[in-house]
Every structure is written in structure tokens, then in C-alpha cells.
Amino acid sequence: MKIDFNIKEILTLPTTIMAALTLASGILLFSPTTILEKMFMIDFRDNYGFIIGIVFIVSLSILIVNLIYKIAKSISDAKAKRDFYATAEKRLLKLNNYQKAIIYELYQQDNRTLPLPLHDGAVLELEQHIMIGKATSEYMVSDLNTASFPYLLHPWVVDELNNKPGLLKDFNDAYNALYEKEFNRSKEQIDYW
């Protein structure tokens, strides 16, 4: 019986199979002789004990490294998520009035969705800061120069506005100021003509 182990193949095995290899090789290595005699595995352990030992050490090492990596990643993700929500109000307050007005307009909608200009820098910045996102991946537009795309307000922004009345008032004030500015501008254009 010839057993051919390829270390490269062992290193690329999924974690569950690696755990099974560790368990099986550990049982073969560390079980008392009486148990191995009942399983007729004494000769196998005597003939291939060195290979079983290598498989056990390598698979156990990989399992430990994977475990450490996953624990560190989950801690890092939890810290990043905590920091993201801890600085949410600060990030929302740093927006300019135009961006606050966009968010407030989305907030007022029942479905939190509105078509927004695709080539607007403020909209793109809000999307980069994960405050709004595209509601669909494909959308028909008649003119690419004035393309609008449906955007939705992310739930964490809605939660911040719902839970912090001062923040909501600030966004409402920015929206009203922008609306008043646009109204006065359109009124001046009408008076001009």
C-alpha cells in the first residue's frame, strides 16, 4: 500500500476537512493500543506513524492559524462597525447644506428613494460615504448628460435622523434654506423676463 501525500494539496483543503484530518490523525496517534487493536489500526500506525504525525502537526497548525485569523478579523470588524456608528452623527454634521438637503428629501419619502443626478459630485460623495446607494444596477435614461438614477437612503442614516431630533432639525433647516434659495432664484428669473 503506497500513500502519496502532497503538502500543497493539504494546505489548500477547506477548514472542515482540515479539522477532520486533525481529529483522525490525532486519534490514530494518541489512542491507547487497546482501542487501536479493536480497530485493527496498530500496523497502520506503526508503518505510517511519521506521516500521520506530520499530517497532524500541519493540519493542527493550519487550524490554529485559521482560528486566530478569524478571531482577529471578527474583532476588527466589530471594532470598525462600532467606530462607524459612533462617528455617524459627526460625519452627518460635516456634510454641506446641499448634501443635507438631498438626505432630508430622501428621508421624507415613504420608500426613502428618489431619482438623483448621476453626475452630481455631492450625490457621488454621499454614495462614497455609504449614506445613499443606488436602488438598482440598471436604469433607462433618455439623455446621458442629464441622467438621473434612483438612489435610496441607507437605514443607518434613517436611524440616526429618527433617534436624534437635533440632527433632524439641522437637516430640515438645510433643506428649507436650499428650497428658499431655489425659490428666490426662480422668482428672480421670472421677474427678469
Beta bridge partners of 35: none
Is the Cβ–Cβ distance between 139 and 149 less than 8 Å?
yes
Coil, strand or helix: which one is 149? strand
Cβ-based neighbours of 59, under 8 Å, separated by 6 or more: 10, 18, 19, 21, 22, 25
Cβ-based neighbours of 162, under 8 Å, separated by 6 or more: 168
What's residue 175's pLDDT?
Answer: 93
| DSSP β-ladder status, 148-153 and 132-134 | antiparallel
Ramachandran region, residue 42 (left: φ > 0; alpha: ψ -120 to 50; beta: rest): alpha
Domains of the chain, CATH where assigned: 7-86 (no CATH), 89-192 (1.10.10)
What's residue 146's pLDDT?
Answer: 80
What's residue 89's pLDDT?
Answer: 93
What's residue 190's pLDDT?
Answer: 57
**Verdict on whether the full-model pTM lies above 0.85:** no
What's residue 148's pLDDT?
Answer: 86
Q: What is the CB-side half-sphere exposure of residue 189 using CA atoms within 13 A?
A: 6
Helices marked H in the chain: 7-11, 15-30, 33-38, 42-86, 88-93, 97-108, 121-128, 155-163, 165-192
pLDDT along the chain (193 residues), means of 10: 65 83 90 87 87 88 91 97 94 95 94 90 94 86 81 95 94 91 68 51
